[in-house]
Amino acid sequence: MSQDCNHDCQSCQEDCQERSFLAPMNKDSHIKKVIGVVSGKGGVGKSSITSLLAVLKQRQGYQCAILDGDITGPSIAKTFGVEGTQIYSNGESIIPAKSLEGIRIMSTNLLLNDSEEPVVWRGPILAGMIKQFWSDVQWGDVDYMFVDMPPGTGDVPLTIFQSLPLDGIVIVTSPQELVSMIVSKAVNMARTMNIPILGIVENMSYVQCPDCEKKIFVFGKSHLQDVAKKYDLHILGQLPLDSELTQLSDMGMIENYSSKWLDAFEKEIEFF
């Protein structure tokens, strides 16, 4: 692999081992930037941050897409209120669903008859599914594709790292994760694969009093600064627990969410 590898095999002449792992892009997809969103474990808000990243960039006029790679815990379709009836095949490729604001979405629960049905597939099938979401879906012209990665640093996330031409990743953590080894594993995985880490987000960091706006750090003092310094990571945000975000996500209306902290977060991701 070239020292300057940007994982864009189409523009590179080098014959390297990395090339064989990359899944081919659908002939009718033109995707400018692919950003993976990772976390050490489930439940820290990885899918919520993936959704908000797409919402923010779409609001700025970019064409965005979300590939829901969290095959066993898919939540993106529900968060945007899209359903399986919205996807179809044109005989050659799958046409993804579109949110109200036009974000293209592909997720396993758009393919299941019952979206509550648990997905109990083994690793190679999970990884194969994500590659198919990349290769068999006609994404069209996309400025930013956000990939909601499977949680952890096991076999499936590793395969995705190798299969998709990721331009960078965002690490999502919770205050509790920051005191464990989980962040270092995600950092090591990305650095071993030569994928730039765009930054780290601490989600569910605090709650804010609706009356006096005081921030209450329910999990104690944050370790974000220390961890960012230790691994040389850019801090993208320290985001609060906000019940309005949960409610809008549950109603499939995350695109309606706005808040002061989201405005600040939007500025932090301008360089993407």
C-beta of 44 vs 127, nearer to ligand ADP? 44
Question: Which residue has 């996330």 as its token pair?
Answer: 157
CB 254, min distance to ligand ADP, A: 8
CB 241, min distance to ligand ADP, A: 4
C-beta of 54 vs 204, nearer to ligand ADP? 204
Tell me whether residue 47 is annotated as binding: yes
Strands 64-68, 29-38: parallel, antiparallel or unpaired by DSSP?
unpaired
CB 66, min distance to ligand ADP, A: 12
C-beta of 37 vs 87, nearer to ligand ADP? 37
Tell me whether residue 45 is annotated as binding: yes
C-beta of 39 vs 159, nearer to ligand ADP? 39
CB 147, min distance to ligand ADP, A: 12
C-beta of 171 vs 198, nearer to ligand ADP? 171
CB 40, CB 180: distance < 8 Å? yes
Tell me whether residue 44 is annotated as binding: yes
CB 202, min distance to ligand ADP, A: 10
- Residues contributing to the site for ligand ADP (CB under 6 A): 39, 42-48, 73, 75, 203-204, 239, 241-242, 245-246, 249
C-beta of 35 vs 204, nearer to ligand ADP? 204
CB 80, min distance to ligand ADP, A: 12
Residues 54 and 79: their CA atoms lie apart, in Å, by 12
C-beta of 129 vs 172, nearer to ligand ADP? 172
Tell me whether residue 131 is annotated as binding: no
CB 227, min distance to ligand ADP, A: 18
CB 96, CB 111: distance < 8 Å? no
Tell me whether residue 128 is annotated as binding: no
User: Closest Cα partner for 218 from 210, 233, 208?
Assistant: 208
Q: Which residues are annotated as a binding site for ATP?
A: 40-47
Q: Which residues are annotated as a binding site?
A: 40-47
